[in-house]
Structure 1
Amino acid sequence: EVILPSSNTQSIPINMVPNGDEASTSHNVFNERLEDAYFDASTSFHDLSNVSAMQEELDQFARLLVAVGYSQQEGINYDETFASVSKIEAIRLFLAYATHKDFTVFQMDVKTAFLNGILKEEVYVGQPPGFVSKQYPYHVYALDKALYGLKQAHRAWYDVLSQFLIESGFQKGSIDTTLFIKK
């Protein structure tokens, strides 16, 4: 039995598939549209107006980060990021095996996943806008568990999920650590 934790996945819209009963046709339609998108993206760099439009869009994201106020201090988790993303080879292998064995595959999105991670360090957050205490407007909150949107939330949730699966008899993949196998 193989489990792949879902992270940052996206469903294919129903209009991408002309007839849901024809799997091979839907696969070909998806590949054709993917190739068209790749071609459009690769040729867009030849037109200077496209390049400047893309740069403006990137600058908007940079301004948003500054406006929101996220900042990191050098030396404190400055270079550390974490995203538990499954390797495409593991996904393909899993789907091929599931198809071969005629398994039904389910993908789940756990809405409260990031609220259950246990933090390994002390984390403080400011009072949210609209909920600032009139008596203590400059106080901050010490978090007991990870909060959605927190930089540490991804790692904290992965650690909780990984520990649960290992205690349930699964083994973590040696090459792809998002792949858990139960023999």
Structure 2
Amino acid sequence: MRSIDIYSNILEKINFDYTEKFIPGLREAFPFYHIGYRPYTPWHSQNTNIKTATGIRYPLIQKYFSGDISGNIGESLFVYITTMIYGASRIIHLRPEKAIMLTPDFVVLDPTDIVRLSPLLCNNSPTISNYSKLFVECKTSASGQNDRNKIAKGLAQLLTTIDYGDLGILFLVQRDQPNQLLSATSIPLIRR
């Protein structure tokens, strides 16, 4: 287990350059997601049931985290760790093809960068050729553990993409307990 400091101005720059969705202001949002702060609404003390034609509804008590911002945080953290900690330099964000085929978030084409990222591959020393590619899918949950469906979808995105000699990383960012800081885990896949 390794703890790293995150500099939010660098994370914001990475967010602008590398993430799928354009969400400025990650520098301000990240600390709230990191510590799990979700504000209560002004009417949080009212436990009122509201009857509707389709069933009972309840007032919003506490704000939810945005899945889009959580996703940007996960993608930004991956690039932050790979560039700032391990020195990788050529990471490409792939265009999502959700309707046609499953596509992971990133690809690393440079074999030198893949070797630099071997700690994220659980320190395996995989056989890497000049044609090897490293595909990465990020899954993030700021409000708790990633659910099994998210993990299964991430693995499917990688397994349908990596070819023989390629590698994959499922990069999970989550909070295991409500009062715990965000943690990141990498799960390596190697197709031989």
Structure (1 or 2) with the greater strand fraction: 2
* TM-score > 0.5, shorter chain as reference: no
Question: Normalising by the residue count of structure 2, what TM-score does the alignment of the two structures yield?
Answer: 0.28
Question: Normalising by the residue count of structure 1, what TM-score does the alignment of the two structures yield?
Answer: 0.29
Instruction: Determine which structure has greater relative contact order: mean sequence separation of CA pairs < 8 Å that are 6+ residues apart, divided by chain length.
Output: 1
Larger Rg: 1
Structure (1 or 2) with the greater helix fraction: 1
